[in-house]
Amino acid sequence: MVFQPTIIAEVYIIWEMINLKDKRFDKTEAALKSAITELLRTKNINEITVVELCRLAGVNKSTFYLHYRDIYEYYDYLIQDIATRHRSIYEKYNYEEFVNLFPDIFVNVLNIIKQDELMKIMISRDNSNVLISKVTESITEAIIAKKSTWYENILQTEMNCRFIVFGTMGVIQGYSDMIFSNPDIAKPL
């Protein structure tokens, strides 16, 4: 089949439109993330309105509503994003590696959180433990998915993973100011 020059040009135009849309979406997401970070420094999510978020982000309210139903759906999206990023850190380890390398993994996680102001704020202000529970669930699933000798007792492996991860996230949450000012504090663990 021989393509006509007009068909190739049309495909190219469509491709450029898709790329432009992706760039606009990325720019909008970055603006929203920056604005929500700023707002969460002083407010809880239930005190933030879509109007306030959009005004600070410089994003039209209708653009926000194209992607999210309300502020809580956006917050859930952020929680899922954080859980996914944490999962990607842990999923390369099976259970034995997770336990044996845990102090090093913990320091790596602290460094990642330290570099992401929104993640740091959300973890330290997660009073209902929704974020910590989601991260714990995601990481536990990733570790259990890597079959190991411990896999024979799935319940024990799952309980141990949840204990370690939930405890780790609780320590990060409870001592975030001290930990982020000195990440070497985690090395003795």
Q: Write the Ramachandran bin of 169: left for phi over 0, alpha for psi from -120 to 50, otherwise beta.
A: alpha
pTM: 0.74
Encode the chain (189 residues) as per-residue pLDDT tens digits.
544 555 555 555 555 554 545 677 788 999 999 999 999 999 999 999 999 999 999 999 999 999 899 999 999 999 999 888 888 888 788 778 888 888 888 888 888 888 888 888 888 877 667 888 888 888 888 877 776 555 567 788 788 888 888 888 878 877 777 766 765 665 555
What's residue 133's pLDDT? 85
Buried b / exposed e along 43-67 (16+ C-beta atoms within 10 A) = eebeebebeebbebbebeeebbeee
Q: Quick one: tokens of 176?
A: 């975030």
